[in-house]
Chain A
Amino acid sequence: MRAGPRVAAAVLRKDLQLDLRSKDRVGHMAVFAALIVVVLSIALPSGHPAARAWIPPLIWVVFLLTSLLGLGRSFQAESEGGAVTTLVQAPCDRGWVFLGKAGANGLALLGVELWTAVLCAVLLDVRWGVALPEVLGVGLLGAIGLAAVGTLLSAMATSARFREFLLPVLLFPLVLPVLILGSRMTAEALAGAEIPGAWWGWLGLYDWVFLLIAYFVFDYVLED
């Protein structure tokens, strides 16, 4: 295997190994998502048509807040033992290191999305079966976008003094397109309507652009 894909695969495998070993990051995200969905199930007026209209954007806000919790700790293992030097010395463009890290974050976010979807089905009576392939597609593209932007910003914020503050301040404006498109596409899918092709295109383009930007700037981000 060529150096780049080999390094990305090794980083992805190592991050999954760390997540499965400590369970801190994924566990905290799962508990946090569950808490918000439980609060929403209590706060939203049941059976009211207006409440159902609010559910898709609220689900995406849950994804966003939960992903923030996980992304913020994405480089914690690297910063604790100076292990970032091991990644910086990988024998390939450092963009491949980014792809490995973003891949692991994307899988963690997908896991949280599936968990939140199950909670929403049980507690908020969301019927995903109406348009399962569309909803899965939107969830996948949304997770890729959040992982791409979040991994890059998390790496940038790791050595900052106010990283807990800095990450959301940088992340929220940049992922607004994911939030808006994801909410609207989910709403259309749950209403049984066809999602406009342009919306798929915009979400796909967003993912592609940020993956590309992050791949090329990661070299500088990883250096001191």
Chain B
Amino acid sequence: MNAIELSGVEKRFGPVRALDGISATLPAGSIILLSGPNGAGKSTLLRVLAGLTRPTRGTLRVLGVDPFGHNGAAQRGRLGYLGQETGLYGELTLRENLEFCARLHDLGSERVENLIHELGLEPVSGRRVRTLSLGYLRRAGLARARLTDPPLMLLDEPWNGLDTEASQALTDWLHSHRGPGRSALIAAHTPSAASGLFDRELRLEHGRLLGGGR
């Protein structure tokens, strides 16, 4: 079973071709590094896979389902996406944000409390998200992405803004996340905090995959 299958995926923003015919197959149970210079198309690829941006051309299957197809909605809880923003509401407290996400996915407040504890967010859980420091914001975003305990994580620069301890904790969690049917695709510039984590590297340049993705 493949976690991700891409065939000729293209994404254009007006005249700009952000993704240019990407074809790749990523097996389930692997952790893949998505690398490349700024503007290579890493974030766009993650957004396409998360169902946030419809590709202009090509076909894709994520966990066996087309995210833009008829069954795409039902599997959104099986994807944990963290973009460059947290995806949280600044005027709500961290706990209120996570409770809102839990209600969307029909999860209980126990799951919220467990994540707050696990990610060391207790000191700031009652604070409005707009008042949090960058490090706590990244951890809060991770908590949101992990809420449904998804089998596939799509993470965009997850180590950015984290201190050494939090970086190591993220790497450790990703190690523990690895397992049959549990995968992650992680875009990162400097994945030094995660040496030994990745099973494979996909390199994007100018929207094209270098070296083939299979």
Contacts and interface: CB of A to CB of B under 8 A. Distances in A.
Contact of B106 (A6, A22, A86): A6
A21 interface: yes
Interface stretch (A52-60, A75-83, A197-205): A75-83
B54 interface: yes
Contact of A82 (B79, B83, B92): B83
B54 A86 contact: no
Interface stretch (B95-103, B115-123, B205-213): B95-103
B129 interface: yes
A212 interface: no
Contact of A10 (B51, B53, B74, B104): B104
Contact of A6 (B84, B96, B103): B103
Contact of B129 (A11, A17, A81, A85): A81
A205 B2 CA distance: 48
Interface in B48-87: 50-54, 73-77, 79, 81, 83-87
- The size bracket of the interface on B is 20 to 34
B86 A81 contact: yes
A189 interface: no
A178 to B, nearest CB: 30
A26 to B, nearest CB: 14
Contacts, number: 89
Given A17-B96, A88-B51, A82 B77 contact: no
Nearest to A96: B73
Contacts of A3: 73-74, 106
A31 interface: no
Given A6-B106, A7-B104, A83 B54 contact: no
Given A82-B83, A89-B52, 18 more contacts: A13-B103, A14-B92, A14-B100, A17-B92, A17-B96, A21-B92, A22-B91, A82-B84, A85-B81, A85-B83, A85-B85, A86-B144, A89-B77, A90-B76, A91-B77, A223-B52, A223-B53, A224-B47
21 contacts: A7-B104, A18-B91, A77-B89, A77-B91, A81-B86, A81-B129, A81-B130, A82-B85, A82-B86, A85-B50, A85-B87, A86-B101, A86-B144, A89-B51, A89-B81, A91-B76, A94-B73, A220-B54, A223-B52, A223-B53, A224-B53
